[in-house]
Structure 1
Amino acid sequence: MISSSRITVARRRRGLTLAELSHLTGVSIQSLSNYERGRTEPTPDTLEKLATSLNFPESFFHEPDLDPIPADSVSFRARSRLAAGPRDGALAASRLVMELNDWIETRFKLPPNQLPTLDKLDPESAADVLRARWGLGNAPISNMVHLLEAHGVRVFSLPPEFTDVDAFSLWREGTPFVFLSTLKTAERGRFDAAHELGHLVLHGVERSHSGPQAEKEANAFASAFLMPRDSITEHIPDNPMVSQVLEAKKVWKVAAMALTYRLHDLGMLTDWHYRRTCVELGKRGFRKSEPQGLPVREKSQLLEKVFNAFQAKNISFRDVARELHVDTEELSSWVFGLVVTLRSGTPSGRRPSRRERPHLSLVP
């Protein structure tokens, strides 16, 4: 039995239209449409052509149907400017990632969801409340990805071909998911993670994740969560020089432009100083990149622990990919390129604090 929905997911994952897939396979558009609608099934020869063109093993198409992720349940930034192809491709990839998450959850006890619903609060207050509930105080957050994972958020990476998609989040069966691009600067990645956290706690499963107002609220939450008012006002003087902004951004591990915007929002930069600082930062290249920024992007600690546990049981990365009916390159694109990390050993560096370490135990 061939799963019609998996043909659709595989095609969208590769960013192909029916016409483009028809050209690759030599199969008519009408036949492909019938396969995806479940009206007819491809012959063995045709299935082989589809599997080769879509770069999925034939076994992938024999697995159970995949229910699609509704586009309106996802917080895509700049939705009006995002083409249907990249949007559908990112959704297809995230649906496959959920197969990985389900597979992991049958083998490990992962951290439970600890995200409150704060939809009655304004973004600044919501950020303060969440920091208090998680015992963060006003201290800078050392690692956003680890923090999210420790509180039950499943964090995965977006395949690198989706250059137009910064990040997105969604709820699925009571579990919060965040998907992050690996193509942005480390500082931008941290802000994206906080932005998606804002969507999850402010908008939840009831309110719409999309639209200018939702994006504005998520941005305000991220700014307040990463750069608490009391911490900023205590350590930075009013109308600081650019050199002071560049030094201070290292403390909160944020982009220079993000800190500048926060200072202006808090009334610590006059309109004139704000414009002047933005112009100067732009001349130094801070609008498009983050010169001398954080050396590495934040990655998943939870996934690293999972795959290290598999390795200890002589279960290779390739074995996991085979279980999920994908190749190792596809699997690696979901987990921050973790296969490279595993081959070279666990990276050294600062040991995460206890509250940042996601609890993980094998399910008997």
Structure 2
Amino acid sequence: MRPTRQDLIPGLEERGTTPRAIADGFDPSRLTQARRLAEMTKKEVAGRIGVTPAAVGQYETGVSRPRPDLIPRLAETLGVPATFFLLGRPANRLDASMAHFRSLRSTPKSQRERALALAEQVWELTYALEQRIQLPFVDLPGFAGGEVHPGAELSTDPASAARELRQRWGVGHGPVTHLVRRMEAHGIVVVMPSAADPSAASVDAFSTRAARPLVILTANRADDVYRHRFTAAHELGHLVLHGDATGDSRQEKEADAFAAEFLTPQSSILPLLPKRMDFARLAELRQVWGVSIHSLIYRCRELGLTSDATTSRTYQRLRALEGQPGFMAESVSNFPGERPSLLQQAFAMAVEEAGLSVAELARELAWTTPRVRELLGVQEQRPVLRLVP
């Protein structure tokens, strides 16, 4: 017998859920989330499923529900299982006031909305794993959601807050090794979408304190681990200093000041910085402290070692050296300690201790299995074919 359209809808056969049942239990916010993940407008969705943009708007506000025959079209258009639209799954809705974007002004609204929808999905994935595996407690002063690790608030001054957090985390006075893994060890969920994910191309980085602190790090164009580490420290600064995201330049400057002091504390780096611009010395410090030469030059000016004019000339000289040994970008892929692994490790433990599978997790989340693999960073295990001589 030829399969019907309903038989072809992902998730319906396994759960015995019909389009009518989904329409009856339709969750308006799931449609909004799926549309933002697909980076589509209401008008585009309406054109694909044969209704007006006003009708899609009413579906998203809950004024009306889509007809049962529209459920398969919505699922196909937005690339999600039909069961994605059902009520009842744990969710954590985010808006722009709850997230700090590294490049807010240059990020279009549609791309910010997609990034927020991505963060919502990361929260859902984290929540599902936490039902099986205990993740590290959140050790972040001022954190007021999810797991709370008691402790005193940090200073509101960025540099002071950075020094206090280094002491709290037992970093000492030297370089911060394995920054991303260290953040994960203190309960911060860090995710780095694949380069194929639209968020990686459109959003530099962002963070949110909703429920459990979350940082999204995207691959920078240069694939430079030094910029990657500074961005991670910048987002850590937002989590520590800024409860609400205003997106203004003051918050961005404060997060930069926090990152600079956290990665290169003044008391430790000042005696090591050259009094006159010495690129060999700066290249050596880059390797030891894990920060870019550009950042070290700025640190020299910031700490009063060089004038604005000298700093400007040094930047010009540095541009001529870019791409040369000792001055070229170094790929993040070569530094495992700077790549997230918390969720992947939690999933591996859930597989071993609870028999969890990607397929089971996908059904629970009402996602496609490729989407689960993508956010976990788990590759599909395909059989290896070998030619027999």
Q: What is the TM-score when the length of structure 2 is the normalising length? A: 0.80
Residue in 2 aligned with 1:323? 364
Q: Identify the structure with bigger relative contact order (alpha carbons < 8 Å, sequence gap 6+).
A: 1
List aligned pairs for 1:233-248, cutoff 5 A: 233-248=270-285
- The 1:331–1:261 alpha-carbon spacing in structure 2 relative to 1, beyond 3 Å, is farther
CA–CA distance in 1 between the matches of 2:229 and 2:369?
26
Counterpart of 2:130 in structure 1 is: 105
Residue type matched to 2:120 in 1?
A: R
State the shift of 1:98 in Å.
1.0
| SS of equivalent residue, structure 1 residue 108 | coil
AA matched with 2:309: W
Answering whether residue 95 of structure 2 is matched by residue 54 of structure 1, we say no
What is the rounded CA distance, in whole Å, between the counterparts of 1:83 and 1:326 in structure 2? 26
Contact 1:188 1:254 in 2 (8 A): yes
**1:180 maps to what in 2?**
217
Question: Structure 2: which amino acid aligns with 1:327?
Answer: T
Give the secondary structure class of the aligned counterpart of 2:80.
Answer: coil
Which residue number corresponds to residue 291 of structure 1? 328
Equivalent of 1:202 in 241, 245, 251: 241
Aligned residues of 1:239 and 1:270 also touching (Cα < 8 A): no
Residue aligning to 2:60: 36
1:43, 1:208 → 2: CA distance? 38
Structure 1 101/272 Cα, relative in aligned 2: closer, same or farther at 3 Å?
Answer: same
Per-residue CA distance 1:46-90 (angstroms, 9 max, x = gap): 110010110100111114374531211211233233211001111
Deviation at 1:283, TM superposition (A): 2.5
Match for 1:135 among 158, 165, 170?
A: 170
- How far apart, in 2, do the equivalents of 1:223 and 1:208 lie? 20
Say which SS state the counterpart of residue 293 (structure 1) adopts. coil
Q: Is the 8 A contact 1:242 1:277 kept in 2?
A: no
Per-residue displacement from partner, 1:113-139 (whole Å, max 9, x unpaired)?
111245643111111111111111112
Aligned to 1:64, the other structure's residue is in SS state coil
* 1:292 CA drift (Å): 4.4
Question: 283, 295, 298: which is aligned to 1:261?
Answer: 298
SS at match of 2:258: helix
Partner residue, 1:5:
29
Could you tell me which of 16, 34, 39 is aligned with 2:40?
16
In 2, the alpha carbon distance for the partners of 1:27 and 1:283 equals 57
Alignment match, 1:339? 378
CA contact (8 A) 1:199 1:209 kept: no
Deviation at 1:145, TM superposition (A): 1.2
Residue in 2 that maps onto 1:312: 352
CA distance in 1: counterparts of 2:117 and 2:249, whole angstroms:
24
* Cα offset, 1:267, TM superposition: 2.0
| Structure 2 unaligned residues grouped into runs of 5+ | 1-24, 143-152, 383-389
DSSP 3-state at the match of 1:72? helix
Q: Which residue identity lines up with residue 342 of structure 2 in the other structure? A: L
Q: Residue 228 of structure 1 is aligned with which of 265, 284, 294?
A: 265
Q: Is this contact kept in 1: 2:129–2:350, CA < 8 A?
A: no
* C-alpha separation in 1, matches of 2:246 and 2:137: 22
Give the deviation of 1:322 after TM superposition.
Answer: 2.8
Aligned to 1:353: none
**CA root-mean-square deviation:** 2.3
Establish whether residue 279 from structure 1 lines up as the match of residue 304 from structure 2.
no
Distance 1:76 1:231 in 2: 30
Give the 3-state SS of the residue equivalent to 1:240 in structure 2. Answer: coil
Name structure 1 gaps, 5 residues minimum. 345-364
Is residue 96–residue 245 contact of structure 2 (8 Å, CA) maintained in 1? Answer: no
Specify the SS of the correspondent of 1:190. Answer: helix
Aligned residue in 2 for 1:300: 340
Question: 1:256-281 CA distances to partner (integer Å, 9 max, x unpaired)?
Answer: 21222122212233333312221122
Decide which moves more: 129-138 or 264-273: 264-273
Could you tell me whether the CA contact under 8 Å between 2:224 and 2:332 is conserved in 1?
Answer: no
Structure 1 stretches of 4+ with a deviation exceeding 6 A read none
1:317 counterpart letter in structure 2: V
Percent of counterpart pairs with the same letter? 34
Give the C-alpha shift of residue 15 in structure 1: 0.6
In 2, Cα distance between equivalents of 1:247 and 1:157: 28
Matched with 1:252 is 289
Partner AA of 1:328 in structure 2: T
Q: 1:27 to 1:284 in 2, by over 3 A?
A: farther
Tell me the SS of whatever aligns to 1:80: coil
TM-score, length-scaled by structure 1: 0.85
User: Cα distance, 1:105 vs. partner?
Assistant: 1.3
AA aligned to 1:306 is A
Q: Give, in whole Å, the separation in 1 of the partners of 2:230 and 2:99.
A: 18
